Homo-oligomer: A and B are copies of this chain.
């Protein structure tokens, strides 16, 4: 079927309601008109590469359910593509909305093709990493064409969104040198581009030749996730001049992308203390013209390796409440090791909790329904329904089964002191319970 539009944003501007928009509409509570208007204005992105044939498209942005992403991918030291494919399956099983393949070793293209063929949620990558892996060159020998060829390969492979650290230009690189940081650059893609710029003396290739990037992305409808190469990697570095300078640049690039009908998502911090989370979200929304905001955490303290799924659930929930649209999960393995399958599950659950808590706070239509179902099940001491309503039915069931109460109505925490049962039984005992307190 010949498309009369290039990208989702182009379609929306032409008044065309695409099959991908239909898919989004079916899963959300937004109106048809609002969806199309917001896609046209860039406030909602629908990452949907034309070559990702089995994709069930989802939307990211204002008025939609907060989405979560699962990072996976091999490293030099832990390099089993089968293990990573298993993580992708866990992501689907536990209802993640997106998968990013951050592989930096081995035959990345074969794995990427496998992912695109088997994973029906949106898939993201970071072509900068893969340029090093694919070419095997020392960073300083990478050519302009090398960078862009990798982007083209990923686009052709069917990747729905790509992280591009185009905002880390020489001006921003200068900024981290005049505004010293505790932890410098902690973004892998940012560090690679910084190294390339430092060693070659060139400008950031994606900043200098942003139009070349836009042409590639428009042709396959690849959404650009504008990466924050200068995101803070320490509480002390949060919201500093380099971070905000890069954010300003991302806002300028966002407008350029929208002019070429290319969809954009903005990536955000990072390590951020709790009282700066709201400000970060509001500033991103302002400086980037309400483009969807994708936060990597934020982690609200530096001191909890082994528990960073929790530090990021705290920050992510608050970010979502204030308008962040997309949360990148963080696993308990963050800062320590490539995550195991178990880490992946813990990360997904923490991130889903944060997203859902944010949706309740956003007042998203229908978001409270599962909470009401759960609370009704609790009030009626209906354990089977409680498991069904739970975000992780198998874990809830296993916890209860591990510790059996003598009275099946209650649990072993309270036993005969169960408040719900006590008040319920009181109601049964009395003709009219309320009469007791009416005087």
A49 at the interface (CB under 8 A from B): no
CA distance A324 to B309 in the complex (A): 23
Q: Using an 8 Å CB-CB cutoff, how does the interface string of A295-329 with B read, 1 for contact, 0 for none?
A: 00000111111110111011001100100000000
- Residues of chain B lying within 8 A (CB to CB) of residue A337: 399-400, 402-403, 411-413
- Residues of chain B lying within 8 A (CB to CB) of residue A129: 417
Q: Are B321 and A437 in contact (CB under 8 A)?
A: no
Set B304, B321, B412: member contacting A353, Cβ < 8 A: B304
Set B184, B271, B353: member contacting A423, Cβ < 8 A: B184
Q: Count identical subunits in the complex.
A: 2
The stretch from A19-27, A89-97, A186-194, A218-226 touching chain B is: A186-194
Q: Using an 8 Å CB-CB cutoff, how does the interface string of A220-244 with B read, 1 for contact, 0 for none?
A: 0000000000000111110000000
Q: Using an 8 Å CB-CB cutoff, how does the interface string of A170-211 with B read, 1 for contact, 0 for none?
A: 100110010000111111101110110111010000000000
- Residues of chain B lying within 8 A (CB to CB) of residue A303: 356, 370-371, 374, 389-391
A416 at the interface (CB under 8 A from B): yes
Nearest-CB distance from A116 to chain B (Å)? Answer: 22
Q: Are B349 and A190 in contact (CB under 8 A)?
A: no
Q: Using an 8 Å CB-CB cutoff, how does the interface string of A399-439 with B read, 1 for contact, 0 for none?
A: 11011111000011111111110110010001001101111
- Residues of chain B lying within 8 A (CB to CB) of residue A374: 234, 302-303
Set B182, B314, B433: member contacting A314, Cβ < 8 A: B314
The stretch from A4-12, A52-60, A149-157, A375-383 touching chain B is: A375-383
Q: Are B274 and A305 in contact (CB under 8 A)?
A: no
Nearest-CB distance from A108 to chain B (Å)? Answer: 12
Nearest-CB distance from A258 to chain B (Å)? Answer: 29
Q: Are A77 and B412 in contact (CB under 8 A)?
A: yes
CA distance A391 to B335 in the complex (A): 14
Q: Are A311 and B412 in contact (CB under 8 A)?
A: no
- Residues of chain B lying within 8 A (CB to CB) of residue A399: 305-306, 332-333, 336-337
Which residue of B has the minimal Cβ distance to A400? B336
- Residues of chain B lying within 8 A (CB to CB) of residue A184: 379, 420, 423
Which residue of B has the minimal Cβ distance to A337? B403
CA distance A37 to B390 in the complex (A): 47
Q: Are A357 and B273 in contact (CB under 8 A)?
A: yes
A75 at the interface (CB under 8 A from B): yes
Q: Are A233 and B321 in contact (CB under 8 A)?
A: no
A214 at the interface (CB under 8 A from B): no
Q: Which 4 pairs show the lowest CB-CB distances between chains A and B?
A: A234-B375, A337-B403, A191-B419, A76-B415
Contact sample, A vs B, 16 pairs, CB 8 Å cutoff = A76-B406, A78-B412, A173-B437, A182-B372, A183-B378, A184-B420, A197-B437, A201-B436, A274-B361, A302-B370, A303-B390, A304-B353, A305-B386, A314-B357, A335-B378, A337-B411
Apart from the given pairs A235-B371, A300-B353, A305-B399, 6 other A-B contacts in the complex at a CB distance below 8 Å: A132-B417, A182-B376, A188-B418, A271-B375, A302-B378, A335-B411
